[in-house]
Copies of this chain bind each other. A is one copy, B any other.
Amino acid sequence: MDRLEFANPDIFRDDRKGAPEVIFAATKTVEQCLAIAQKFLQLRGRAILSRVPPELEARLRAEFPAEPNPDDPQQVWLEWDAEARAAVLRRVGGEVKPSGGRVGIITAGTSDIPVAAEAALVCREMGCEVFKAHDVGVAGLHRLFEPLRALLREAQVDVIIVAAGMDGALPSVVAGLVDVPVIGLPTSVGYGFGGGGIGALTSMLQTCAPGLAVVNIDNGVGAGVMAGLIANRVAAARRQGGGR
């Protein structure tokens, strides 16, 4: 029943992996996206779509209301994340349960926000609480210290995603300062040689700071899942306690 002619969605990834499958809409037709989403809705009560093209966005907005319908508990609603251009379709039963995981997300510049938003959405759908600080890149380093302190001391995050394009220097600077694992999320911001995120990715891979691992350029979903897995594992340990 969970099989389509053109797709074989990994419906139970959530159980196996502790992270939901996200439907990458950019390279699929509108009809394929909707059919796959229906499968997830039927079996899991939730479907997440990333990189939603305008045509699909229009279709989703036309078909689904923006809020649950109290009169029709079976009704699926659409939670549209404009920054990330991502959609969550949900019905009753598909709500997220808080995991206790705590994730920090930092961006080097305003242009990095869409990719960071994708990561944030995934973390929240994994039950994590997300804390953000935007536009604190190394061109004006004085902007970094206060937000970083807040993430570590106040929010007490267990992992930090740092999104940066261009020179990609911020994740190295952050990883040199903090004692939590850092996930470098290069974005395709930048032009010329090393543009499209290549410079940022290269810089993060060549980091001289320990405790930094990276995902591919603009892969907000990947960064989000990695951070969510780490944070949720720490949170679970915190709940269980009594560790060896």
Contact = CB atoms under 8 A, between A and B. Distances in A.
A194 B213 contact: no
Given A111-B28, A188-B192, A241-B243, A167 B233 contact: no
Given A8-B136, A166-B208, A181-B230, A173 B176 contact: no
B141 A177 contact: yes
Contact of A192 (B4, B167, B173, B197): B197
A180 B110 CA distance: 27
A179 B238 contact: no
A24 B173 CA distance: 19
Question: How many copies of this chain sit in the oligomeric assembly?
Answer: 8
A131 to B, nearest CB: 14
A16 B208 contact: no
A238 to B, nearest CB: 2
B208 A191 contact: no
Interface residues of A, number: 100
Contacts of A186: 192
Contact of A109 (B188, B197, B208): B208
Interface stretch (A57-65, A72-80, A84-92, A199-207): A199-207
A97 to B, nearest CB: 14
